[in-house]
Chain A
Amino acid sequence: MTKFRVNKTKHVDQTKTVSFNFDGKSYHGFDGDTLASALLSNGVHLVGRSFKYHRPRGIMSCGSEEPNAICQINENTDLTEPNVRATEIELYEGLKASSQNCWPSVNFDIGGINNFISQFIPAGFYYKTFMWPKSFWKKIYEPLIRWSAGLGKSPTKPDPELYDHKHVHCDVLIIGGGISGIIASKIAAKNNLRTILIEDKNILGGSTIFQKNENYKINNKYSSEWLDDEIAELQKLDNLTIKTRTSLAAYHSYNYLLAKENISDHLPLDKKNGGIRQRLWKIRADKVLVATGAIERPLVFNNNDRPGIMLANSVKKYLDFYGVSCGFNNVIFTNNDSAYETAVSLKEKGISVEIIDIRKKSNSKIVKNAEKLGVKIYWNSTIVNTFGHRKIKSIEIMNLSEDGSNVVGDKNRINCDCLAVSGGWTPMVHMHTQSGGKLDFRENDQTFIPTEIDENHINVGSCNGDFELEEIINNTNKKVKNFLKVSETEFDNTSVLNSKELDKRNIWLLPNYISEGKCKSFIDFQNDSTAKDIKLALREGFKSIEHVKRYTTTGMATDQGKLSNMHALGIIADTAGVKMGTLGTTTFRPPFTPLTFGSIVGRSVGKFFDIIRKTSIHEWHSQNNAKFENVGQWKRPWYYPINDEGLHDAVQRESKAARDSAGILDASTLGKIDIQGTDASEFLNRVYTNAWSKLGIGKCRYGLMLNEDGMVYDDGVTTRLGENHYLMTTTTGGAANVLSKLEDYLQTEWPELDVYLTSVTDHYSTASVCGPNSKKILTKIFPDKDFSDEAFPHMSYQNAKIDEINCRIMRISFTGELSYEINVESKYGKSLWEKCIEVGKEFKITPYGTETMHLLRAEKGFIIVGQDTDGTMTPIDLQMDWIVSKKKYDFIGKRSLYRSDTIREDRKQLVGLLTDDPNEVLEEGAQIVSDVNKKPIEMIGHVTSSYFSPNLNKSIALAVVKSGKKMNGQKLIVPMENKNINVTVSDSVFLDKENKRIYA
């Protein structure tokens, strides 16, 4: 046992030694220790350097509020994690931890120079300094700041561990397993409510669990023993789920909460077994009880950040819970009664302690108890300075003036090796405010207290401002009864002995004889902001708390200002001469403590990142060497290289084959909507720009759909299957949105229409066979069918069968070739495809992908919605006036086609572009200009589609150009990085203007 391990407790098993490594040195702790308690038991206080001034910093607290003791664990492994609070990691065999923010080592840190030049790096230093010369920014300032800033190192490889999500519902969720959470859980569970209790530590009991003191008794037992009995009973309750090592991250509206459960973080590396590391609980609770407790406040005085300066209650926890004394020559600096508990505990174990109390006197029982034990108390005093570089060695104290605004009398030096500080308590209202709750300011102890917001959420215990034991028990019992509508509980007649009083003397910034400018009175320890910085910000004109926070970075570190926000507010209020309650607070945002990325994404990584949709023919594509492209969630064949063919060569070959003989495309991904009802034709009339009433049964028609603002939204071919039955196709990417939009109109604007919409995209697979030989192939597949132009004309559909399988054949064309789309139920998709390939062999049928499809349609000047349009193109802009019905009274977007803006003649309009050099292929997205000499150069359009056409043996492009309609034949320029490309505006149809090929 080390000399600092002075006490045996039941929470730390001193028979089980655990070895670990900190900054390259081996130490021993025990089972039940945290990294922090184990370090302290070895006398190690100095664990890191501060962020800005690189001042030595030590462990300050024992929980999630810890600002200083943040480490890198398991460095140089895939499991490494930065910014882990030493106060929260449970010690395990082989744990490796190291300090952050120091180079070359925590004991000698070159950045410490910042401490001596701190006069010159005040708040806003970066904003003010790294401004000029401008050229220094990229090469000098930014790399320098990046190197010196930052907390820890992120892992360089993918996280090898597993994470999980879990959705849960419950009647009552209780956040916090301290005394009030335990009382609340017991009442809830005993009243037949499905209850979940979550606690971030590995055991229940909060701070009462180590409160074994004559001054605090419940029903004549020590409060810790009473609570032990309660916990033992609690664990027997059926409808209560207790989740330890689970911390609440977020409290959203309607009682939706996120909590992170640590499953294997406390296990040695070799015992993790590749199981789940952390699980994110997504909880929807009927009622939520917040019992998150309170955090002790530090005090703000000169040099209040030295290693060895800790929070008083944490010193008590290290002693009474972990059995570790943080020092043998302790001084307590306080403004309230609670720190006297620490003094009594230390003194009872024979450890030296003295008290500096800001107050003039206190007569509470606990103070009397301390005096009786012989603890020396310096009343009405304050610390004006502290000494000791890597660990506190001594302090200097002075008396306070009557009003506390100044120091008087002589300086008095006291030696110490640990300074325990208490500035009173701050209720943890984070959860309450995250959920939308408001706060009231309580003057007598300067705290923000939650005000209740609704009937499904309350706060109990010290997070509600009840700090004294009898208040906690009685008020919690009363509130929970009321909240859960319970008439009596076992806690109704609990007798409580409490020896403390809620009496404090609050001074936000303690006075000093040293001038303010020379004091380093830290408010935010992690971000190194001082009282001086806050005052400077106020002098520079920042008034809002949110602005001061950002300018000084107070409260913006990984601890989110758990220790600093109240002091910042207090000092602002004092300096500005306003009442504290009127300033409001900064916003508390989730997560309460940092979450790992792993727990946020859960299983949605790698191939589970997003849904992958494959057509029923996918397997054939894979086997035939297809390269795929993502279209929405679909995997579509992009091109089918033969041997080592690249994209360009494959597409040239595929395009040529489709025009010369036959090609085949998997068109299954196109959106398909089945439309039925007596008003189906009228419905189509209203959603498409062209007329539908006269479309005969068995005929197909191309339609263009607009938004109400007149812009092209989607397009596709719709087939009339019967009198009141249509099959609409949409673009692959637009399918879901089109259905949703159509439903919207149907349900909200035209509920009188008898129309039903059903998505059938996945129900059918489609093989599109095109090319001059397609008719021959179809005839071979369907020998009984007459495919002559008279029997089966362009833009018509017929049913047919392959064996007993029903097929719908549409003679429609997106390539400009004679083309048939064969639809079958999806399960037959692959057999249909293989049949087409088999039969097409003698015609050298060539499978082609999306790239070739795009090229073929571009040769014909057919648009692709989303490529040649971008939500600002009307059909008129696309030179598709022919599809806009003049006769129809109304359709979606009609009125917008003659708004003052949409009838402008200088809108960007779709045109064809031919490069003067036929081998020069333009880049899609390239800008188009008419004059490169006039500066600034006016951009008049851009290239939307561009290909080298093997069928025309030249480069072709589609583009949108201002007033393009009137520019046919005009010369324009596409300026590129190293040259200007000369182009000529042309018609957008490059091939077969007479549409002869569809009758091939």
Chain B
Amino acid sequence: MFLINCPYCGERDQSEFSCGGEAHMVRPKQPTELSDDQWAEYLFMRKNIKGVQFERWNHAHGCRKWFNMVRDTSNDKIHAVYKMGEKPPVE
């Protein structure tokens, strides 16, 4: 059970949060211009890394804010949390 440092509320129990999958998947600005393959790339394809991964998290039972997290999936170490729109911290 992680202890997550919500960028808005501070450290809270993982049970207050939900994970929203891979971060920095930008919704295409002009979906209609995309081929099926290109759209499928956005719609379906997600990395599932063993190691350092960028993830979206939502403080669902708290401030309801979405934010990003850098987590090592092999040992669950959380390296950083940062607000939406902020640049990911460089490794």
Binding site for B on A (CB under 8 A): 252-256, 284, 436, 708-709, 740, 743-744, 747-749, 751, 889-890, 894-896, 899-900
A749 to B25, CA, bound (A): 10
Provide the residues of chain A in CB contact with B56, threshold 8 Å. Answer: 748
Given pairs A747-B65, A747-B66, A890-B31, 15 additional interface contacts (CB within 8 A): A252-B1, A254-B2, A254-B3, A254-B14, A708-B27, A743-B58, A743-B64, A744-B20, A748-B66, A748-B84, A749-B26, A889-B32, A894-B31, A899-B36, A900-B36
Kindly state whether residue B85 has any CB partner on chain A within 8 Å. yes
Whether A284 lies near B39 (C-beta < 8 A) is: no
CA distance A253 to B71 in the complex (A): 13
- Write the chain A residue with the least CB distance to B60: A740
Contacts of B58 in A (CB 8 A): 740, 743-744
Task: State A402–B74 Cα separation when bound (angstroms).
Answer: 46
Q: Please, what's the 1-or-0 string for B7-35, where 1 marks a CB less than 8 Å from any CB in chain A?
A: 00000011000001000001100111010
What is the CB-to-nearest-CB distance from B28 to chain A, in angstroms, rounded to a whole number?
8
B39 interface neighbour in A256, A436, A895, Cβ under 8 Å: A895
User: Which listed residue, B3, B26, B30, B85, touches A284 by the CB 8 Å rule?
Assistant: B3
Partner of A899, one of B20, B27, B39: B39
Bound: A900/B26 CA distance, A: 23
In Å, the complex CA distance between A740 and B57 comes to 12
A743 near B39 with CB under 8 A, answer no
Please measure, in the bound complex, the distance between the C-alpha atom of A895 and the C-alpha atom of B1, giving whole angstroms.
Answer: 38
Kindly report which residue of chain B lies nearest to residue A167, judged by CB atoms.
Answer: B13
Closest to A894 in B: B31
Within the complex, which residue of B2, B27, B32, B60 is in contact with A749, where a contact is CB–CB below 8 Å?
Answer: B27
**Tally of chain B residues near chain A (CB < 8 A):** 26
Q: Which of B26-60 contact A (CB under 8 A)?
A: 26-27, 30-32, 34, 36, 39-40, 43, 56, 58, 60
The smallest beta-carbon distance between B42 and chain A, in angstroms, is: 8
Chain A, residue nearest B18 (CB) = A740
Given A253-B76, A749-B27, verify A895-B32 contact (CB < 8 Å): yes
A-B contacts, 23 of them at CB < 8 A, read A254-B1, A254-B2, A255-B3, A256-B3, A284-B13, A740-B60, A740-B64, A743-B58, A744-B20, A744-B58, A744-B66, A747-B66, A749-B27, A751-B84, A751-B85, A890-B30, A890-B31, A890-B32, A895-B32, A895-B39, A896-B39, A896-B43, A900-B36
Q: For A252, what are the chain B residues with a Cβ–Cβ distance below 8 Å?
A: 1
Interface residues of B (CB under 8 A from A): 1-3, 13-14, 20, 26-27, 30-32, 34, 36, 39-40, 43, 56, 58, 60, 64-66, 75-76, 84-85
Chain B contacts for A896, CB-based, 8 A: 39, 43
Shortest CB–CB separation between residue A671 and chain B, in angstroms?
Answer: 15
In the complex, the 4 A-B pairs of residues with the closest C-beta atoms, listed nearest first: A895-B31, A256-B1, A254-B3, A747-B66
| Nearest B residue (CB) for A258 | B1
| Separation of A253 and B56 alpha carbons in the complex (Å) | 20
B contact residues around A890 at 8 Å (CB) = 30-32
B82 to chain A, nearest CB (A): 13
A254-B1, A709-B43, A747-B66 known; A436+B34 contact, CB < 8 A: no
Residues of A within 8 A of B13 (CB): 256, 284
Residues in chain A near residue B27, CB distance under 8 A: 708, 749
Residues on A with C-beta less than 8 A from B31 are 890, 894-895
A287 vs B66: C-alpha distance when bound (angstroms)? 29
Measured CB to CB, the nearest residue on chain B to A708 is B43
